[in-house]
Amino acid sequence: MTRTKEEKDSALRDAIVRRDAVRVQALLSEGADLKTLDDEGKTPLMVAAKAGAPEIVEILLRAGADPTPKDKLGYTAEMIAYWYGEYRMGAYTAESFQIVEMLRRMER
């Protein structure tokens, strides 16, 4: 079955939200677009940052995802990682910090 670009991109976002690293890699190898935007203007990397999925963030960065674009509200993937970092007991989660550190390394 041949998938359209839109189907691949939608499946990629779904796999990211489910934190399915194997599926994400498979979809990238099938040609899913790292630059595609969802309705909020978020790239797949931003979706992974929002999901708090460091393994997926790393896969996307290694595949060439750009950490610098901003969504419709003006947020980068780093800002999204902080925002959705599940602020608890006065501290962000370890996953949030791990994602932010990966994104910062790629921006240099």
pLDDT on residue 18:
97
Domain count across the chain: 1
CATH code of the domain covering residue 42: 1.25.40.20
Q: pLDDT: is 89 or 54 the higher one?
A: 54
Instruction: Give the whole-angstrom CA distance, residue 36 versus residue 7.
Output: 12
Section 4-8 average pLDDT = 88
Domain span at 31: 5-107
| pLDDT tens digit sequence for 41-51 | 999 999 999 99
> Residue 88 — φ and ψ, nearest 5°?
-140, 135
Which tens digit of pLDDT belongs to each residue from 32-71? 999 999 999 999 999 999 998 999 999 999 999 999 999 9
**Cα 72 from chain centroid (whole Å):** 16
Kindly report whether the global pTM for this prediction surpasses the value 0.75.
Answer: yes
